[in-house]
């Protein structure tokens, strides 16, 4: 039994936070943000719009586009570091309930920006082992809930959104996943961290006074390591599978910073047409970034049935992952 990437869906909140808006909030400029990150705007969820709400909307689309019913789904995995609740119940359980999925295993994974590709590897293992037939995987983030909007080094980067995919069993090798690499190095844990709440820093007045509940990032160090790791990772997965970069129609990297995307794309000598870029309009949506980008090219008619995708991601943990697989759903 093989696993195939059966469908894609995404949801973005309607509220836009532009660089001009940020200029009024912190000491920054549209010019600096554009030049250093490639980001023009990002979406922000409303106060009563939770991670599970965005995830549910993306999931409904993915299930429908796979031609399935919610009753066909036999596993739900939600990748998020901004769950509805720290630490229970899992957002995957809440999404299952909102979708009307009953008595099905559901859990979250916290692999930051690498979450969606990590979830792909989990779905692949469950499907290939014969344990599950149709796995719903989600990357969803209300990142604005952990961003300090007085910190110019982070607040310009992140946005909210969700993406979802159905991974299904198939006996047709042609449409199967080719390979996934996923890895981590916890010695860099302090590069990207939300110090609280957690068992190290349970919620307290000190946590609130010091803003320890907000994301902290060693931006420049993370940037350099991201370029190095991502470049090596994609070259390794291509070489291992005997596939040339020029044969990849859709390179979908994590959308953290246009300069990182360009550096990795250039190192593979990829053309503009091959590299998918959505960071300009959504910012960095962490685990949601890759499925949102895949949804973008599917909805615009760029991604067709059977075409090869190379996914590549890097994030808190530190974690990183890459995947090589054909899109096995119907073209739009
Ligand atoms: O998704 C997970 C992985 N995350 C990433 O991959 C993010 C990686 N990091 C980055 O994208 C970039 O490092 C940033 C966009 C966060 C920062 O860009 P940079 O080119 O690395 O800038 P820097 O941190 O080296 O800062 C350069 C200067 C500093 O001023 P001085 O010390 O040179 O006077 C900063 O204080 O830019 C200043 N600065 C800003 N200026 C205007 C930092 N943030 C801002 C800002 N507006 N928003």
Tens digit of each residue's pLDDT (9 = 90 or more) over 184-211: 999 999 999 999 999 999 999 999 999 9
**Domain count within the chain:** 2
Q: Is 241 exposed, middle or buried (0-12, 13-18, 19+ CB in 10 A)?
A: exposed
Tell me, yes or no, whether 290 and 304 share the same domain: yes
Is residue 31, in this structure, part of any structural domain at all? Answer: yes
Tell me, yes or no, whether 148 and 285 share the same domain: no
Q: Provide the pLDDT confidence category of residue 231 given band limits of 50, 70 and 90.
A: very high
Is residue 332, in this structure, part of any structural domain at all? Answer: no
Tell me, yes or no, whether 189 and 242 share the same domain: yes
Tell me, yes or no, whether 153 and 190 share the same domain: no
Tell me, yes or no, whether 84 and 203 share the same domain: no
pLDDT at 225: 92
Tell me, yes or no, whether 224 and 107 share the same domain: no
Q: 308 with 292: CB under 8 angstroms?
A: no
Residue 34 pLDDT greater than 90, yes or no = yes
Is residue 231, in this structure, part of any structural domain at all? Answer: yes
**321 CB-near residues (< 8 Å, 6+ apart):** 111, 114, 117, 118, 121, 180, 181, 182, 183, 233, 311, 312, 313
pLDDT at 78: 98
- Answer yes or no: 254 catalytic: yes
Ligand 1 atom 41: residue of nearest CA: 28
Kind and range of the H or E element at 310?
Answer: strand 308-315
Q: Provide the pLDDT confidence category of residue 25 given band limits of 50, 70 and 90.
A: very high
Q: What is the DSSP string of 254-268?
A: --S-HHHHHHHHHHT
Helix H segments across the chain? 19-23, 30-37, 51-65, 91-99, 115-128, 152-155, 205-210, 219-240, 258-267, 279-282, 289-299
- Answer yes or no: 6 catalytic: no
Tell me, yes or no, whether 77 and 158 share the same domain: yes
Distance 220 CA to ligand 1 centre (A): 6
Is residue 331, in this structure, part of any structural domain at all? Answer: no
Q: How many CB atoms lie within 10 A of CB 111?
A: 27
Ligand 1 atom 20: residue of nearest CA: 36
- Identify the domain containing residue 137 by its residue range: 2-173
Residue 87 pLDDT greater than 90, yes or no = no
Residue 75 pLDDT greater than 90, yes or no = yes
**Arithmetic mean of pLDDT, 87-111:** 97
Tell me, yes or no, whether 42 and 167 share the same domain: yes
pTM of the prediction?
A: 0.97
Annotated catalytic residue within 19, 213, 254, 257 = 254
Q: 239 with 245: CB under 8 angstroms?
A: no
For ligand 1, mutation pick of 24, 36, 254 (most atoms within 8 Å of CB):
36
**At 144, which CATH number?**
3.40.47.10
Tell me, yes or no, whether 107 and 249 share the same domain: no
What are 119-158's pLDDT values in tens digits? 999 999 999 999 999 999 999 999 999 999 999 999 999 9
Tell me, yes or no, whether 183 and 162 share the same domain: no
**Arithmetic mean of pLDDT, 314-327:** 97
Q: What is the DSSP string of 129-196?
A: TTS-SEEEEEEEEEGGGG--TT-HHHHTTB-EEEEEEEEEEES-GGGS--EEEEEE-GGGGGGEE---
Contacts 24+ apart (CB under 8 A), 86-92: 86/197, 86/198, 91/51, 91/52, 91/55, 91/140, 92/138
Structural domain ending residue among the three candidates 111, 139, 173: 173
Interhelix angle 258-267/30-37, nearest 10 degrees: 30
Query: Does the C-beta of 59 come closer than 6 Å to ligand 1?
Result: no
Is residue 243, in this structure, part of any structural domain at all? Answer: yes
What are 152-177's pLDDT values in tens digits? 999 999 999 999 999 999 999 999 99
Tell me, yes or no, whether 151 and 188 share the same domain: no
- Answer yes or no: 113 catalytic: yes
Structural domain ending residue among the three candidates 143, 173, 203: 173
**Arithmetic mean of pLDDT, 291-308:** 98
CA distances from 120 to 15, 136, 195, 264, 314 (A): 29, 10, 27, 22, 15
**Arithmetic mean of pLDDT, 33-58:** 98
Tell me, yes or no, whether 12 and 112 share the same domain: yes
Average pLDDT, the chain: 97
Structural domain ending residue among the three candidates 144, 173, 202: 173
């Amino acid at each position: 039994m093989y696993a195939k990437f059966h469908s894609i869906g995404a949801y973005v909140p309607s509220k836009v936070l532009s660089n001009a808006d940020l200029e009024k909030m912190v000491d920054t400029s549209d010019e600096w943000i554009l030049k250093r990150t490639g980001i023009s705007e990002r979406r922000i969820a409303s106060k009563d719009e939770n991670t599970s709400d965005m995830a549910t909307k993306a999931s409904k689309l993915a299930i429908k586009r796979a031609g399935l019913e919610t009753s066909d789904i036999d596993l739900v995995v939600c990748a998020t570091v901004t769950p509805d609740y720290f630490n229970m119940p899992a957002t995957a359980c809440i999404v299952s309930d909102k979708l009307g999925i009953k008595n099905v295993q559901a859990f979250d994974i916290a692999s930051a920006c690498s979450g969606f590709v990590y979830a792909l590897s989990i779905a692949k293992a469950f499907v290939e082992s014969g344990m599950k037939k149709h796995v719903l995987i989600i990357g969803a983030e209300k990142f604005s809930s952990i961003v300090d909007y007085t910190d110019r080094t982070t607040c310009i980067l992140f946005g909210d959104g969700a993406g979802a995919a159905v991974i299904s069993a198939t006996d047709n090798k042609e449409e199967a996943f080719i390979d996934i690499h996923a890895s981590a190095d916890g010695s860099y844990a302090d590069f990207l961290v939300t110090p609280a709440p957690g068992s190290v820093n349970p919620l307290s007045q000190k946590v609130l006074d010091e803003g320890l509940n907000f994301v902290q990032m060693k931006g420049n160090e993370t940037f350099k390591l991201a370029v190095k790791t991502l470049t090596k990772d994609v070259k390794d997965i291509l070489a291992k599978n005997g596939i040339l970069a020029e044969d990849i129609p859709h390179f979908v990297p994590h959308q953290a910073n246009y300069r990182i995307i360009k550096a990795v794309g250039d190192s593979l000598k990829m053309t503009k047409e091959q590299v998918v870029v959505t960071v300009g309009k959504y910012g960095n949506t962490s685990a949601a970034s890759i499925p949102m980008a895949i949804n973008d090219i599917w909805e615009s008619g760029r991604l067709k049935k059977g075409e090869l995708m190379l996914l590549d991601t890097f994030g808190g943990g530190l974690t990183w992952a890459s995947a090589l697989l054909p899109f096995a759903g119907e073209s739009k």
